[in-house]
């Protein structure tokens, strides 16, 4: 039975590994080899990775791919993608090539406002609290000047602070709801530092506010934290072309394809069970670029899915229409991204990814990421409404199955050629391997 340990974080890296191997793997030498084979031979680079997080024992690799031919606002891009799922990069690349020959993608940032909140409890007269807030608001902003000084020089900073009454949802619950502009930084640390200073000043000034009773002076700060829901940090990306130009698959005419495509999008707009999978495919493209560029894909995921539910039902993030013979397909999505700070200046592959994208500003990166999601969704819907999703996906997944069965290079060449003209399923690939080996 495994036992607990005290002071694990204080152990050296090698001692951490020894404890894990002895406690959980019965001192199996293969376990230690697996852990150590992913270390980087460059000591300084490995040390850098070790210090990103706590209790590091090794590196966990994901493939870093590139999807070329993305024409965005008239500028050609090759988009970096870090992801483990087969067919994602291929689908994005295919969609990019398709639309590069039809005018490319158009993208624009609609707004870049980010949000943070001080959550507090107050049990007293709301009108007096409102008067107090009017008095203290300039002091809150003044108290953060040492924090906001550099951001303001670049054109960012605090946009506004509001007092919000949330007592209908929870007795005594109020917020300081603050909006920020953080420019090319994602801005989490900046926002949280400002919020904590707001909370400190707000509480201290309440103690000397004469209109408060003794009880009312005792404002209880619960927490101060940014929100990853950023409905006012929006980007829109779209493609369009005459319906007659939606030619590529000879098995379906352009008009039929366009109409099936529209119905597929409408189903995702009204049916949550479909919408979740529909949006998951969008996030395949978005997360891959967000991860490759050193941004927080968990924050993006949380904010995006909240946005997809903003009208009370979980719905599609993409939309489509046909007007006057023109096919339109677009996405409008909240993305709080940064191109400075965090891993952007530390992780060598993140720096390479941003260089590959022509050193984008945060707004430009928002556009690129939204386009990746739109392209991914177009590729998925095109397959679903024509040949089906499995044909292309399984052909891309073929190499994973072959590797599971430790196929030789000669076997891979033979089987890849075979499945160019045969349907690839897990069972059919396994049977083909067995048949080949019998020969």
Which residue is listed with tokens 């303001």?
Answer: 152
Domain map of the chain by residue range? 8-50, 64-111+231-387, 114-226, 392-438
Which residue of the set 50, 85, 125, 248 is catalytic? 85
Per-residue confidence (pLDDT) for residue 408, from 0 to 100: 83
Q: Which of 149, 280, 422, 434 is catalytic?
A: 280
What pLDDT is stored for residue 72 in this prediction? 98
409 is catalytic: no
Alpha carbons 404 and 415: distance in angstroms, whole number: 14
Our CA angle for 318, 294, 50, nearest 5°, is: 145
Query: What pLDDT shows up at residue 127?
Result: 97
pLDDT at position 277: 97
Question: Is 37 in contact with 16 (CB distance < 8 Å)?
Answer: no
Is 10 annotated as catalytic? no
Tell me the pLDDT of the chain (439 aa) as tens digits: 567 899 999 999 999 999 999 999 999 999 999 999 999 999 999 999 999 999 999 999 999 999 999 999 999 999 999 999 988 999 999 999 999 999 999 999 999 999 999 999 999 999 999 999 999 999 999 999 999 999 999 999 999 999 999 999 999 999 999 999 999 998 999 999 999 999 999 999 999 999 999 999 999 999 999 999 999 999 999 999 999 999 877 778 999 999 999 999 999 999 999 999 999 999 999 999 999 999 999 999 999 999 999 999 999 999 999 999 999 999 999 999 999 988 888 899 999 999 999 999 999 999 999 999 999 999 999 989 886 555 555 556 677 777 777 788 887 778 777 777 777 777 777 878 887 777 7
pLDDT computed for residue 155 by the predictor:
95
Active site (annotated) includes residue 393 = yes
How far is the C-alpha of 370 from the C-alpha of 348, rounded, in Å?
A: 24
Q: What pLDDT score was predicted for residue 390?
A: 52
CATH of the domain spanning 114-226: 3.30.70.420
The whole-number pLDDT of residue 419 equals 74
What per-residue confidence (pLDDT) applies to 392? Answer: 53
How far are the Cα atoms of 121, 316, 410, 411 from residue 429, in angstroms, in the given order? 62, 35, 15, 12
Catalytic one among 181, 184, 296, 364?
296
Q: How much is the pLDDT for 389?
A: 53
pLDDT value for 234: 98
> Rounded to the nearest 5 degrees, what angle is found at the Cα of 233, between the Cα atoms of 152 and 343?
70
Distance between CA atoms of 105 and 368, rounded to whole angstroms?
9
Can you give the pLDDT at residue 387?
Answer: 65
| Per-residue 3-state assignment (H helix, E strand, C coil) for the chain | CCCCCCCHHHCCHHHHHHHHHHHHCCCCHHHHHHHHHCCCCCHHHHHHHHCCCCCCCCCCCCCEEEEEEEEECCEEEEEEEECCCCCHHHHHHHHHHHHHCCCCEEEEECCCCEEEEEEEECCCCHHHHHHHHHHHHHHHHHHCHHHHHHHHHCCCEEEEEEEEECCCCCCCEEEEEEEEECCCECCHHHHHHHHHHHHHHHHHHHCCCCCCCCCCCCCEEEEEEECCCCCCCEEEEEEEEEHHHCCCCCCCCHHHHHHHHHHHHHHHHHCHHHHHHHHHHHHHHHHHHHHHCCCCHHHHHHHHHHHHCCCCCCCCCEEEEEECCEEEEEEEEECCCCCECHHHHCCHHHHHHHHHCCCCCHHHHHHHHHHHHHHHHHHHHHHHCCCCHHHHHHHHHHHHHHHHCCCCHHHHHHHHHHCCCCCCCHHHHHHHHHHHHHC
Q: Is 97 part of the annotated catalytic residue set?
A: no
Domain covering 64-111+231-387: architecture: Alpha-Beta Complex (3.90)
pLDDT at 394: 56
Judge if 64-111+231-387 and 114-226 fold alike in CATH terms: no
């Amino acid at each position: 039975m495994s036992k607990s340990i005290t002071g694990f974080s204080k152990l050296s890296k090698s001692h951490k590994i020894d404890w894990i191997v002895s406690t959980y793997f019965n001192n199996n030498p293969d376990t230690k080899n697996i852990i150590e084979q992913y270390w980087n031979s460059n000591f300084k680079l490995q040390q850098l990775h070790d210090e990103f997080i706590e209790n590091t024992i090794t590196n966990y690799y994901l493939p870093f791919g590139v999807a070329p031919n993305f024409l965005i606002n008239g500028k050609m891009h090759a988009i970096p993608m870090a992801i483990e799922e087969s067919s994602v990069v291929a689908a994005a690349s295919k969609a990019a090539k398709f639309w590069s020959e039809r005018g490319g993608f158009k993208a624009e940032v609609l707004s870049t406002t980010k949000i943070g909140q001080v959550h507090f409890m107050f049990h007293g007269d709301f009108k007096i609290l409102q008067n107090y807030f009017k008095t203290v608001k300039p002091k809150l902003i003044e108290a953060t000047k040492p924090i906001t000084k550099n951001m303001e020089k670049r054109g960012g900073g605090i946009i506004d602070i509001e007092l919000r009454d949330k007592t209908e949802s929870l007795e005594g619950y109020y917020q300081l709801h603050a909006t920020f502009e953080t420019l090319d930084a994602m801005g989490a640390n900046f926002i949280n530092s400002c919020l904590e200073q707001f909370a400190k000043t707000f509480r201290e000034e309440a103690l000397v506010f004469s209109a408060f009773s003794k009880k009312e002076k005792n404002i209880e700060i619960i927490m101060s934290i940014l929100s990853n829901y950023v409905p006012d940090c929006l980007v829109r990306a779209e493609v369009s072309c005459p319906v007659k130009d939606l030619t590529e698959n000879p098995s379906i005419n352009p008009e039929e394809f366009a109409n099936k495509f529209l119905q597929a999008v409408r189903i995702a707009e009204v049916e949550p069970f479909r919408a979740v999978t529909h949006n998951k495919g969008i996030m395949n493209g978005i997360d891959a670029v967000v991860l490759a560029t050193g941004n927080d894909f968990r924050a993006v995921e949380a904010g995006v899915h909240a946005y997809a539910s903003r009208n009370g039902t979980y719905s599609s993030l993409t939309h489509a229409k046909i007007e006057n013979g023109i096919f339109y397909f677009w996405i409008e999505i909240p993305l709080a991204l940064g191109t400075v700070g965090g891993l952007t200046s530390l992780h060598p592959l993140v720096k390479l990814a941003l260089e590959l994208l022509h050193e984008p500003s945060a707004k430009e990166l928002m556009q690129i990421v939204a386009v990746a999601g739109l392209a991914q969704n177009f590729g998925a819907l095109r397959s679903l409404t024509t040949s089906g999703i499995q044909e292309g996906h399984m052909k891309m997944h073929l190499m994973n199955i072959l590797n599971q069965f430790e196929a030789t290079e000669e076997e891979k060449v033979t089987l890849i050629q075979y499945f160019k003209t045969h349907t690839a399923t897990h069972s059919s690939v396994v049977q083909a391997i067995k048949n080949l080996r019998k020969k």
